[in-house]
Amino acid sequence: MRPESHSHFLTEAAIVAKLTHPAIVRVRDFGVSPMPDGQDAPWLVFDWVSGRTLADDLDERWNDPPRAPWEVLELMRPVLRALAMAHAQGIAHRDIKPANLMLMARAGGNDEVPVRVLDSGCRRCSNSTSAASRPG
């Protein structure tokens, strides 16, 4: 990783780490560390989530009847709200796809958000967004 890439990665990671929304898997820490071969490797630490991706779910449901429109809306509403919140802060995901949406394992009767946005490293920041401090 080139030194100018370090700065770009750390700036984006700091901004993304400040995003807090129930439908976004949170970045807890980040950095750039030297590897044994002398190269530097960027890294992110996310909250642990349990479930399966929407891509896996769609593959498993291939021969099943499609979800009703109201089911799709209920499933995607938290994702759309999370993306709108990020967009309002000058952050765009750039890689929304079924493999980057995690359907959460839900305990019976709780009101946990049913889907979370993964892959925070794919976001980019507008010029108007300032760099954030490291998460604490």
Measured CA to CA, the distance from residue 103 to residue 109 in angstroms comes to 16
Report the C-alpha gap between 16 and 48 in whole angstroms: 16
Which of these is catalytic: 29, 47, 59, 95? 95
Phi then psi for residue 23, to 5 deg, are -100, 10
Phi, psi for residue 18 in degrees, rounded to 5: -80, -10
Cα 61 from Cα 67, distance rounded (Å) = 9
Q: Return the sign of the alpha-carbon dihedral for residues 72, 95, 42, 17.
A: negative
Residue 29 a catalytic site member:
no
Residues that are catalytic:
95
